[in-house]
Amino acid sequence: MVAGHSARSYLGAMHPQSARDDGAGMVVLKTVDGTEHTLFHGDIIGRLWSAALHLNDGRVSEAHAMVSNRGRELKLLSLRGKFRVDGEVLRDVVLAEGQTIELAPGVAIEVVEVLPPTELLALRAPGLGARIIAGVVSLTGGDQPAIQPGWRPGTCQVWPTGDGWMRAHPEGPVLVTDGATWEVEGARFSASFVEHGAVRPTEDGGQRARLRVVAHYDTVHVHNLSQGTVLVVSGRPARLISELVIIGQPVDWHTLALELWGGADRDVLRRRWDMMLSRLRRKLRTGGIRSDLVFADGTGLVQLVLGAQDEVVDET
């Protein structure tokens, strides 16, 4: 808990910074020195100092390869250099745990863990069923609405950013949110986020199940009142939820990370934060609790998302 700090002091410390959502997926890669690196959609592997996974080796290209979300999978795509997997030279590969990827002779990385995308964007329009979107698409309306792959001039385009999805708008790109609707040439399109391979948790007959969140700081009990079950969260994930209960409003991820880990380097905090948030959301889903209970809004702010009938009890 933050001693002597009010919600007001938290807000004063905010610095907008995109907070990644594990819905886009992540991969943990191990280099030959045994160091593990967590990468997300759009992260670059190469010898540039700015690369997310920097390899200071002349055999590796400046921007050698990129991690990319492709619908239900995470892929490694070649940029300025190819790579080998099981002796085969490839320009792209679906990432899987246990793989060894040879970027250049004598330079290899190991895939330790893959958390594939868990929330997929589905678009709907009159006459079209739900279409899962894996990349850039173009929307046309009229009497026969269509969703076409790729960027097509004169249409309404939708594209992923790694932290979420955007759509074209005359006044500038607009964030695509769950339940958003908009018109294209007289046809109404709608967006929803669906769980990968599962029914969305804490849904009961199409309604969100009632939750009761009891925060004890080092532990948090999340009661699914509709199902009569309890999920126990402990450690830093519990402290994160407890801090959000105490504050009662959106707060900057970096401020929370400093409270949880202390004054480490911002990039180090970023990696720790992303990994913890991903594991927390996976635990929530496994326990039948909706993962957006802890929600990052894409501008760096994090908050608890509660329904009208949900309860919060502060016992910190």
- For domain 7-18+206-314, which architecture applies? Orthogonal Bundle (1.10)
- Tell me: pLDDT of 204 over 50: no
pLDDT for the residue 189: 95
- For domain 26-115, which architecture applies? Sandwich (2.60)
- Tell me: pLDDT of 147 over 90: yes
Q: Global pTM?
A: 0.51
Cα 197 from Cα 99, distance rounded (Å)? 23
User: Burial level of 215, CB count in 10 A (0-12/13-18/19+)?
Assistant: buried
The pLDDT confidence band at residue 163, using thresholds 50, 70 and 90, is low
Q: Which of 50-64, 185-199, 290-304 has the highest mean pLDDT?
A: 50-64
Higher pLDDT, 194 or 97: 97
pLDDT for the residue 21: 44
**Tell me: the pLDDT tens digits for 58-102?**
999 999 999 987 766 788 999 988 899 998 999 999 999 899 999
- Cβ-contact 99, 38 below 8 angstroms: no
- Tell me: pLDDT of 149 over 80: yes
C-beta atoms surrounding 58 within 10 Å: 9
C-beta atoms surrounding 153 within 10 Å: 6
> Cα torsion at 97, 103, 109, 114 (round to 10°)?
-30
- Tell me: pLDDT of 279 over 70: yes
**Tell me: the pLDDT tens digits for 19-53?**
344 455 778 899 999 888 888 877 899 999 888 89
pLDDT for the residue 208: 63
Mean pLDDT of the chain: 81
Cα 2 from Cα 256, distance rounded (Å)? 9
